[in-house]
């Protein structure tokens, strides 16, 4: 038994047709499958939760394209290891061999200098980079590198996907197929795995190996009996990560500072990155509080900066202050809704012309044809306001920002009413 590789490794698929899940990317006629089959594969970032097949997909791509596969982990690799891979790629190019795929797991953990070391090779096409990350690459990958990569979002595996993996393992694995195993209940297996295929298969193997019989009925009770309960505790790389940050955000949005600080403590106990927490508070301060209390964004931004400077463990005090303040603050998502409405409107009407009076007129020709003519400079009028049209004519009177029902925004609403009279339906 000890000489066997783990079940998750033994069941790793070797082709796209064996790959389970992510049909929006690799199903028939899906966007990433087309890119692979055409051979015109760009550098890319695979973004998704743990255990959904990022590493496996990268390896399958290399096999399908018959290209060397170099794999680095951001945890134990640095600039030196990246340069060594690039040197190997240069030799392959000189020998007119297929250029390699460089897979970097947890690329979000690479520092700026480490990511910078990749740029030249990616730009020159010496390597095709495939990065894997569980974090939003917009925050964690430098813009110069991100702009040279396509980002593909991998979705959590569904219950059907996970059950398919279990059934396939029982049928196809040379060791398990010798036993007569029937899964009577799936709930505990699925819950304890947290949607992570690797963890799911390892739990299945653990439960089967714990029995000396060749005929095994797997029930929820049997699974819970043999699997250590700490699998269900907070795991910053697993399902609990997403559940607890969700509970945390919703507690603040729901104005419950007591629950919010509890979930903060749960994340702290689980070793969550303090900057990840602070960044989520920044987003919430604008999305869920906005103009109901503009100071919220200022405090959240100061919190992010302070956590970055102070470090751990003192940062927990700063986080607690910010969390309890944001949770206790009045709430409004009016500005968030405004940009959503505006973007929807632009998608439908994005080609409407800018009204002549508010166009820029840097040249005499532009002035001659009416650019900037009759523009009313607000500060030249009483109260620093004079009514004029700022929308394209077809959108005149469109209400996008509807101030929320709170003291601060009610004042904004009254001011806007007094300025615009009946033009907007405030």
Whole-angstrom distance, CA of residue 64 vs CA of residue 346? 41
The residue among 272, 360, 285 whose CA lies nearest residue 313 is 272
What fold is seen in the domain 159-231?
Answer: Helicase, Ruva Protein; domain 3 (1.10.8)
pLDDT of residue 184: 87
pLDDT of residue 230: 41
Whole-angstrom distance, CA of residue 186 vs CA of residue 120? 48
Helix, strand, or coil (residue 315)? helix
Query: What is the reported pTM?
Result: 0.54
Cis amide leading into 185 (omega within 30): no
Q: CA separation (Å) from 214 to 176, 177, 180? A: 9, 10, 6
Whole-angstrom distance, CA of residue 258 vs CA of residue 130? 42
Q: CA separation (Å) from 137 to 49, 109, 246? A: 13, 11, 19
What fold is seen in the domain 239-328?
Answer: Zinc Finger, Delta Prime; domain 3 (1.20.272)
Cα 347 off chain centre by: 24
pLDDT of residue 232: 43
Superfamily (CATH H level) for 21-153: P-loop containing nucleotide triphosphate hydrolases (3.40.50.300)
Q: CA separation (Å) from 335 to 244, 254, 362, 410? A: 26, 18, 33, 14
The pair phi, psi for residue 237, each rounded to 5°, is -110, 10
Q: Which residues of 244-283 are buried (b: 16+ CB within 10 A; e: fewer)?
A: bbebbbebbbeeebebbbebbebbbebebebebbbbbbbe
Tokens coding 420: 């615009």
Alpha helices in 79-219 (DSSP H): 79-94, 112-124, 137-140, 143-146, 159-172, 187-193, 197-209
* Average pLDDT of adjacent 10-residue blocks, the chain of 426 residues: 72 86 87 87 88 89 89 79 87 87 86 82 87 84 87 88 90 85 86 81 85 82 70 50 85 93 88 86 95 95 90 88 95 93 88 87 81 89 91 91 91 92 87
Where are the domains positioned within the chain?
Answer: 21-153, 159-231, 239-328, 349-420
């Amino acid at each position: 038994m000890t000489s066997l590789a783990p079940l998750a490794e033994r069941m790793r698929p070797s082709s796209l047709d064996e790959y389970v899940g992510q049909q929006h990317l690799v199903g028939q006629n899906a966007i990433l499958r087309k890119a692979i089959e055409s051979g015109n594969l760009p550098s890319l970032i695979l973004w998704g939760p743990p255990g959904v097949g990022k590493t496996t997909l990268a390896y399958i791509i290399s096999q399908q394209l018959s290209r060397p596969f170099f794999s680095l982990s951001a945890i134990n690799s640095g600039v030196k290891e990246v340069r060594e891979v690039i040197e190997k790629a240069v030799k392959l190019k000189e020998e007119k061999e297929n250029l390699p795929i460089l897979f970097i797991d947890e690329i979000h953990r690479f520092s700026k200098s480490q990511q910078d070391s990749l740029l030249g090779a990616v730009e020159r096409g010496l390597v095709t980079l495939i990065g894997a990350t569980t974090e939003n690459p917009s925050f964690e990958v430098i813009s110069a590198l991100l702009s040279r990569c396509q980002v593909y979002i991998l979705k959590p595996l569904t219950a059907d996907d996970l059950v398919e993996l279990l059934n396939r393992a029982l049928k196809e694995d040379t060791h398990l197929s010798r036993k007569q195993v029937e899964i009577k209940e799936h709930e505990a297996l699925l819950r304890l795995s947290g949607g992570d295929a690797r963890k799911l298969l390892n739990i299945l193997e653990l439960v089967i190996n714990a029995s000396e019989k060749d005929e095994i009925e797997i029930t929820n009770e049997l699974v819970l009996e043999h699997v250590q309960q700490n699998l269900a505790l907070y795991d910053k790389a697993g399902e609990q990560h997403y559940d607890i940050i969700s509970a945390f955000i919703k507690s603040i949005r729901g104005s419950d500072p007591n629950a919010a600080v509890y979930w903060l403590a749960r994340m702290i106990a689980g070793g969550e990155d303090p900057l990840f927490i602070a960044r989520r508070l920044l987003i919430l301060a604008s999305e869920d509080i906005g103009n109901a209390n503009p100071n919220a964004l200022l405090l959240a931004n100061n919190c992010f900066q302070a956590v970055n400077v102070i470090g751990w463990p003192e940062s927990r005090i700063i986080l607690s202050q910010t969390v309890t303040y944001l949770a206790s603050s009045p709430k409004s998502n009016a500005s968030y809704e405004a940009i959503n409405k505006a973007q929807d409107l632009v998608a439908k009407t994005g080609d409407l012309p800018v009204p002549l009076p508010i166009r820029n007129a840097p040249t005499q020709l532009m002035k001659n044809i009416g650019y900037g003519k009759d523009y009313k400079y607000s500060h030249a009028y009483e109260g620093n306001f004079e009514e004029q049209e700022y929308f394209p004519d077809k959108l005149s009177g469109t209400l996008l920002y509807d101030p929320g029902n709170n003291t601060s925004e009610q004042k904004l609403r009254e001011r806007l009413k007094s300025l615009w009279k009946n033009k907007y339906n405030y």
